[in-house]
Amino acid sequence: MGFTRAELDGFRDAVVPDLVGDVPPRLVFVGINPGLWTAATGTHFAHPGNRFYPALHRAGITDRELDRVAGLSDADRQHLIDRGIAITNIAPRATAKASELTSEELRSGGAALRGRLAIWRPRVVAVAGITAYRTAFARPRAVVGPQQETIADAELWVVPNPSGLNAHETIESLAARYREVAEAAGVVPAVPGQG
């Protein structure tokens, strides 16, 4: 499945609904904002070059690699929810690149995120993207990994952004970080002798 540039441009500023179930999630992954492919498919992290779903599978969080390119199926969405996973974004509007967002959009998005998390009450929140996290939450020196602060009483982590543009990460390195947050949230069992 593919889209022309003109088709994707038609999704600028669209908002993608959060993926969240009726019961409190154990782990919430927070993206920066929807990309145009995500907006076109209604599926978070949907771009073919994004490594989020391959890393979730490699980490043992999902039992299969979810095919997100054309949009997740209802069964795949339910699989994530049943595993205790929710997905949202800091900023709601779709852009071609995260760099199109203003600092104010990230800060106001961070405040709105706190409100959603206070309702959802997850165990762990994993923000995927250190630069956006630093801006949204006024933490200019934050580093990837567990944070000292909590958010809505949840353990707060910053994990690497799975975008294909983040050349410093591989599916394996992303999977290792995502496995850590999934273990902290009780989504997957901790590996004996590690941690």
Give the DSSP per-residue string, 25-66: -SEEEEESS-BHHHHHHT-TT-STT--HHHHHHHTTSSSS--
What is the radius of gyration, based on Cα positions, of the chain? 16
The domain spanning residue 30 has which CATH number? Answer: 3.40.470.10
In-domain check, residue 7? no
Count of structural domains, the chain: 1
pLDDT value of residue 168: 86
pLDDT value of residue 193: 65
pLDDT value of residue 18: 98
pLDDT value of residue 192: 73
In-domain check, residue 167? yes
What is the span of the domain harbouring residue 89? 19-185
In-domain check, residue 13? no
In-domain check, residue 111? yes
pTM for the model stands at 0.95
Do 128 and 159 touch, CB atoms closer than 8 A?
yes
In-domain check, residue 81? yes
Do 41 and 20 touch, CB atoms closer than 8 A?
no
pLDDT value of residue 191: 77
pLDDT value of residue 50: 94
In-domain check, residue 3? no
Place of tokens 């353990």: 155
In-domain check, residue 157? yes
| Helix/strand number for the chain, H first, E second | 7, 5
What residue ranges of the chain have pLDDT lower than 50? none
In-domain check, residue 115? yes
